[in-house]
Structure 1
Amino acid sequence: MSFAGSSVVSGVKTARKAIEFGKTHVVRPKGRHQATVVWLHGLGDNGASWSQLLETLPLPNIKWICPTAPTRPIALFGGFPSTAWFDVEDLSEDGPDDLEGLDASAAHVAYLLSTEPSDIKLAVGGFSMGAATALYSATCHSLGKYGNGNPYPANLSAVVGLSGWLPCSKTLKSKMEEMKASNSGAGSLPVLLCHGKVDDVVLYKFGEKSSQALRSCGFQDVTFKSYNTLGHYTVPEEMDEVCAWLTSKLGL
């Protein structure tokens, strides 16, 4: 999947070359199709690995779309290329934000959701850097626009972030306050964050701080789940939590 930055993320400073997204894997619903979730993998991973796990979940009414991020030079790896939704120097909210990369990936998520039937509920979730991209999509939805000012088109009903962090958290509060006059949808968008207390890749404190930041910015339906012995991976207990939460919030 490839599209030029100018067509989907117009308003970006330069007419840069097209971003090449990797292969998208789709898990079809086994029952009646009620919801579609775009699920985003972590740094260096691909859509295939998550599609295999998601296919095993007891959620027969969900269609899962698992795209693969573009391969790009990563500052964290000294410029060595890896699959990544955006460039990153630090897997936390402390590093600089690659707004152009975040906007392009959030636009790709919206594009993948754009052809779903109008009566289907839409959601986005992810792990690690994928969780960061999902949370960034949540803020774009609530602000009604991407970081570059273009309108955000997808109508999200739920957002899930596992072992991740909230990009652009330092500037979000002021942006949300600016939006309050135009009735931001932040309050009603449910967000589930899960994080392991012994995560040595994206530290637990960044997950906790992200949940606090979302609440302080007007997100009223934020659930934060912590796991005492969990590192930077997922476990059945956590995925059971995700299943129960999605079933509840999406009315499955």
Structure 2
Amino acid sequence: MRASPALSLRMDAAFGKTQVAEAPEEATGTVIFLHGLGDTGSGWTKMRDTISVPHVKFLCPTAPTREVSVCDGMSMPAWFDIDGLSPSELRSDSDGIQRSVDHVLKIVDEEIASGTPSDRIVIAGFSQGGNIALAAAMQAKVPLGGAIGLSTWFPRGIADKPDPVNRKMPIFIGHGENDPIAKAEWGSKTFEYLTGIGMPTEGNIYPEMGHEFKPAQVTDLKVFINRVLGTQETVTLSKPLGMTLEEGGEDEGTVVVSGVKEGGSAAQSGAIQVGDQVLSVNGKVVKGQGFDAAMDAIIAAEGDVEVRLNRPPADRTVAWTTLSQEEQDRRLNTSGGIIKVCTDRACMNQGSKATVRWLTELTPETFSVTRCSCTGSCGKGPNVVVSGRDKEEKVVYETNSVGQAVKMLMEEFELSVDPKKVQNLINPEKNVEFGMSDELVRQGLMQTVDVRSSFAGNRF
């Protein structure tokens, strides 16, 4: 594994630089991420570390610099010109949109030529870049791994339906509830349109988020990318294969291994297990094409059969705020202070789970971090309740940030907290959600660890 994956550049005469953020481990998948209006690709290379899927590299192209009508003719990087924010004005520069789509599809072709299978490529983008990402994914003539549109709108009139090879391509749509530029309604309509034409689409509207990318999206994107670009394996089997297949999985048309026969070719390979997704057979992509397509390819194969498989990350259920009962009892019996965080239904949506989790990490064992029995009648949002031996209980209303909580701990209990530890916990690039979970379970501090995505039920 390389300690510091390099950033390199690709150039195109009409377009700006494409930053290449190499994968920390051997790359078996690629995300092409397109920036928003006025931005550049270099600003998004940190996505590699933020999303942190070690076998996936990120290509971050830069749009051409041009005059943008909606910005009074100012010159800036833009994938296409925008006259205004009405639906017709957003797509008025159809030629510019198509040029950018062609550029992205050229990058896809180059990536395939470099050895990355097309179905291991995801096209993603933010705002104006998300519009181009969705249009390019729809126009692609090769099966893609998926598409992601963040704070964006659907390119109606440019690419209304996908090419048949991508009719079951997984798509993720994310949007800020308070977006003042790309209205949340645009995200909802995009979601409704895509599901209406039968595409497997999932997504989330993020409360209290504007036209921006925030840590709230990190977990959702990591789960999505891990699923569509999971760890892959290529295995050569002799007939009979010694395994059974069925159509299943989260994405429609997915074919998975449903059984492995003891002593058969699949079992002897030692590389196949129940739940693996079949991506291709002898080079023919069958991902998303259904059971019949996979079986036809296997039957047609002469001699040995090369099967490429995707192993999705194992489902894990996590209760971030639940200490094991034994650990909680022990802390309560020995604690010098108790911190309670409101978990009223309304409060839970605003971040109190994260506060409990962070406080558990930031405080020594002599403190107990629990949930109060608030009914929500205060109407003040998330509350942190501090109490302890020989101390009067204090409620700090509307406190659901780590910074406020740490300040309160220092004032109430004279607790000294290492600033670097705080920064490591709250910095989204450190991926707190995924970095601390398993270890806490091993230590017996938590009952379960959950990485379930927040779009388990789509919120559009």
Length-normalised TM-score, structure 1: 0.79
CA distances 1:103-150 after superposition (whole Å, capped 9, x unpaired): 111111122222221436111101111111111112212xx4xxxxxx
Higher RCO (CA-CA < 8 Å; seq separation 6+) = 1
Q: Which runs of 5+ in 1 are unaligned?
A: 4-19, 145-153
Q: Counterpart of 1:198 in 2: which secondary structure?
A: coil
Give runs of aligned pairs for residues 56-95 of structure 1, distance below 5 A.
56-91=50-85, 93-95=87-89
Output the aligned Cα RMSD.
Answer: 2.0
Q: Which has the higher Rg, Structure 1 or Structure 2?
A: 2
Letter in 2 for 1:164: T
Question: Counterpart in 1 of 2:204?
Answer: 225
My pick for the range that moved more, 112-121 or 127-136, is: 112-121
Contact kept, 8 Å, 1:26 with 1:65, in 2: the verdict is yes
Contact kept, 8 Å, 2:26 with 2:55, in 1: the verdict is yes
1:29 aligns with 2:23: yes
Question: Counterpart in 2 of 1:132?
Answer: 131
Contact kept, 8 Å, 1:36 with 1:62, in 2: the verdict is yes
C-alpha distance in structure 2 between counterparts of 1:86 and 1:62, whole Å: 28
Length-normalised TM-score, structure 2: 0.44
Contact kept, 8 Å, 1:91 with 1:129, in 2: the verdict is no
Question: Counterpart in 2 of 1:243?
Answer: 222
1:100 aligns with 2:95: yes
C-alpha distance in structure 1 between counterparts of 2:187 and 2:138, whole Å: 16
Question: Counterpart in 1 of 2:109?
Answer: 114
Per the TM alignment, residue 96 of structure 1 is displaced from its structure 2 partner at its CA by: 4.8
Q: How has the CA–CA distance of structure 1 residues 127 and 34 changed in structure 2, closer, same or farther, with 3 Å as cutoff?
A: same
Q: How has the CA–CA distance of structure 1 residues 105 and 249 changed in structure 2, closer, same or farther, with 3 Å as cutoff?
A: same
Q: Counterpart of 1:193 in 2: which secondary structure?
A: strand
Per the TM alignment, residue 90 of structure 1 is displaced from its structure 2 partner at its CA by: 2.8
Q: How has the CA–CA distance of structure 1 residues 70 and 219 changed in structure 2, closer, same or farther, with 3 Å as cutoff?
A: farther
Identity %: 30
My pick for the range that moved more, 82-91 or 197-206, is: 82-91
Letter in 2 for 1:210: T
Letter in 1 for 2:219: D
Letter in 2 for 1:157: G
C-alpha distance in structure 1 between counterparts of 2:185 and 2:149, whole Å: 14
Per the TM alignment, residue 31 of structure 1 is displaced from its structure 2 partner at its CA by: 1.2
Letter in 1 for 2:209: L
Letter in 2 for 1:56: T
Q: How has the CA–CA distance of structure 1 residues 212 and 247 changed in structure 2, closer, same or farther, with 3 Å as cutoff?
A: same
1:2 aligns with 2:12: yes
C-alpha distance in structure 1 between counterparts of 2:185 and 2:64, whole Å: 28
Contact kept, 8 Å, 2:28 with 2:116, in 1: the verdict is no
C-alpha distance in structure 2 between counterparts of 1:90 and 1:119, whole Å: 38
Partner residue of 2:176 out of 196, 199, 203: 196
